[in-house]
Amino acid sequence: MKTLSIKQPWAELILQGRKKIEIRKWDTKFRGEFLIHSSKIPDKESMKKFGFENLPLGFIVGKAELIDVKSYENDEEFLKDGNLHLAEKGWGNKGFILENPQRINKIKCNGTLGFWEFNRK
């Protein structure tokens, strides 16, 4: 199944339904359900900012559905969606619009950049 590695606390914020748009510098034609993998290295500043101390790292932790990709053409558009992506300017101008986040039983595995295939062995 398609999988996307996302740093903590962003993966957790998606699973909580607080982050509805994932910001990336690249586009994708992929649409549909994918697994959420928490990267091994967290975003330490954001962990503090959102009040997290200990979140799972290096695990598939959930799944969500990518329904569309939004291109942010200017800062005003980006800032308007700030409560949906919780990101800072400069992280990218592509917004992966997510729905139906669900937590699953953790699966330990290594991740990689971009969408990648997870095959349970």
Sign of the four-CA dihedral 35, 98, 49, 103: negative
Query: Residue 60's beta-bridge partner residues?
Result: 37, 107
Q: What is the pLDDT of residue 121?
A: 63
Q: Looking at the predicted structure, is the pLDDT value of residue 57 above 70?
A: yes
Q: Average pLDDT in the 97-107 region? A: 98
Hey, what domains does the chain have and what are their CATH numbers?
2-112 (2.30.130.30)
Query: Are the C-beta atoms of 22 and 95 separated by less than 8 Å?
Result: yes
Q: Which single residue is written with the structure tokens 């992280």?
A: 91
- In this predicted structure, what is the pLDDT of residue 89? 82
Extract the tokens encoding 40. 């091994």
- State yes or no: pLDDT of 15 exceeds 70: yes
Strands (E), 72-117: 94-108, 115-117
Task: Give residue 81's pLDDT.
Answer: 97
- Put the strands of the sheet holding 94-108 in their side by side order: 21-24, 94-108, 59-71, 32-38, 2-6, 115-117
Rounded to two decimals, the pTM is 0.95
